[in-house]
């Protein structure tokens, strides 16, 4: 020990330094190390919670994106279906309008043909009456005698019946 004291080593002083060092470690442990570890653990936990909540939000956002994409695709399909139906309906209406117009035109043509036939028949009848009257008058002149009104009407009717059997 004398050798240690000659070197300036005091064992009692050394023991007190060790005790002081242990007290300092105890105080630092209580006041600094444990609160710092607690603070780091709290910080680590808050970072983990933030990461977990970010991952949850990311998953929710991805689910929403997929849902919106699905809805968008459905909306596009619906729009295409509506356009196809409208086009088909337009084509059907076009065909119906054309068919109605064709039918109306055919009716008008038939009506005009019937009117023409009636007018022709009336003109032919009037012409027959006129021809019959002229024929009776010509016959009266040829015979040189006057024909009575009754004889005239009888001759016209007979002539019309004869000529009526002939077709022009």
pLDDT tens across 128-148, in order? 778 777 776 776 666 666 667
Domain-located, residue 82? yes
8 A C-beta contact, residue 15 and residue 23: no
Characterize 22-47 residue by residue with b for buried, 16 or more Cβ atoms within 10 angstroms of its Cβ, and e for exposed.
eeeeeeeeeeeeeeeeeeeeeeeeee
Q: Is the pTM of this model over 0.85?
A: no
Tell whether 83 is covered by a domain.
yes
pLDDT at 144: 60
Domain that includes residue 16, residue range: 11-164
Q: Residue 34: inside a domain, yes or no?
A: yes
Mean pLDDT of the chain: 86
Q: How many domains, the chain?
A: 1
- Chain-centre distance for alpha carbon 69: 19
Cβ–Cβ < 8 Å for 159, 137: no
């Amino acid at each position: 020990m004398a050798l240690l004291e000659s070197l300036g080593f005091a064992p009692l002083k050394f023991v007190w330094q060790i005790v002081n060092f242990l007290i300092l470690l105890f105080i630092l442990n209580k006041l600094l190390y444990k609160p710092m570890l607690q603070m780091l653990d709290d910080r680590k936990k808050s970072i983990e919670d933030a990461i977990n909540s970010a991952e949850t939000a990311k998953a929710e956002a991805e689910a929403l994106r997929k849902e919106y994409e699905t809805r968008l695709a459905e909306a596009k399909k619906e729009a295409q279906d509506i356009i196809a139906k409208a086009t088909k309906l337009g084509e059907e209406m076009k065909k119906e309008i054309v068919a109605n117009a064709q039918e109306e035109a055919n009716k008008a043509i038939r009506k005009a043909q019937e009117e023409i036939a009636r007018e022709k028949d009336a003109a032919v009848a009037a012409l027959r009456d006129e021809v019959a009257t002229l024929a009776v008058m010509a016959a009266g002149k040829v015979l040189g005698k006057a024909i009575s009104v009754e004889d005239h009407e009888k001759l016209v009717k007979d002539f019309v019946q004869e000529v009526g059997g002939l077709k022009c």
